[in-house]
Amino acid sequence: MPSKQTESVEFVQATAGSEAILDEAFSELGAGHPKKALLAFQKILETQPSLTGLNYLIGRAAFQAREFSIAEEALQRSLSRKEMDEEARLLLAVIHLSQSSAGAAQGSRFSDPLTDAESEFRRFSVSHPADSAVYYQWAEALRSRGSYRTAAELLHKGFLRSDLMSSQAFLSAKEILTRLQNEPAKEVPSLSGITSMSGELAIGAALVALQHHQTTEALLFFERAREFYSPTAFRELISDSAFDPYRTDPKMQSFFTSDRADKSPSAP
């Protein structure tokens, strides 16, 4: 019997120009400027309207900017093109719920927006079992209706499914370590500024100190970095290949091999 052919989906990748605008848009989203991100995503429509996932991204940015009509139009386009349709359907349900919570007119809507949203949350969580964000959205929806116990249970599920590798602070630290591998800093940061350092800057400073053979300073920077990460994340960071050349240093060996690296910030 001839094999049954599956429907092929064409994916359009970003051009160099679109990639630069995407980076700009995501940077604006991360900085809390969804309207600027929306404008950036919409700019890509002028040059590469067929970019895969673009309509969903416009819908997401428009939702965060509370431009609900723009968001709905973009998400409907995403559904019609069968691109990120599960994500688009879920976000549409969240938008309708948000509008109902704000007292917006619902027209001829007969069903409860929360019931609709929960249906989409369940559907999405089944098809994306490792996704943590859906549990956050689900929990926030329930919290808005006073269902705190169930919301807390959902947040715990999200915590269990959260991906360490997608954390902004974790990826930022990895980026800093990688850049320092490529181009080591010329001098070690001053310890006088250690209390104002973020976790990723401190972990980078520790590497710079090791590159300059200043192990005492490196240990102090490590301890500062430890304050910002869970034990699991901190363990993963100090396991980075950037630190491999220093693991056999007699002054650092105990740090890298003993249980010191496993202690939580509050441990004695």
Q: How far apart are CA 238 and CA 105, in angstroms?
A: 53
Domain with CATH 1.25.40.10 in the chain: 16-102+112-162
CA-based torsion, 18, 21, 26, 29: positive or negative = negative
Distances in Å between the Cα of 141 and the Cα atoms of 52, 68, 98, 148 are 29, 17, 9, 10
**Would you state the pLDDT for residue 109?**
55
Distances in Å between the Cα of 100 and the Cα atoms of 141, 143, 169, 207, 233 are 11, 15, 34, 51, 39
- Distance, CA of 163 to chain centre: 9
Torsion angle, alpha carbons of 252, 257, 258, 264, to 10: 90
Instruction: Render each residue's pLDDT in the chain as its tens digit; 268 residues.
Output: 444 444 555 789 999 999 999 999 999 999 999 999 999 999 999 999 999 999 999 999 999 999 999 999 999 999 999 999 999 999 999 999 988 866 544 444 567 888 989 999 999 999 999 999 999 999 999 998 889 999 999 999 999 999 888 888 999 999 999 999 999 999 999 999 999 999 999 999 999 999 999 999 999 999 999 999 999 899 999 999 999 999 999 999 999 986 444 544 433 3
What's the topology of domain 16-102+112-162?
Answer: 1.25.40
Using the structure block, give the residue that is written with the tokens 């920077």: 221
**Would you state the pLDDT for residue 29?**
93
**Would you state the pLDDT for residue 238?**
95
Listing DSSP states for 92-156 in one string gives HHHHHHHHHHTT---TT--S-HHHHHHHHHHHHHHH-TT-SHHHHHHHHHHHTTT-HHHHHHHHH
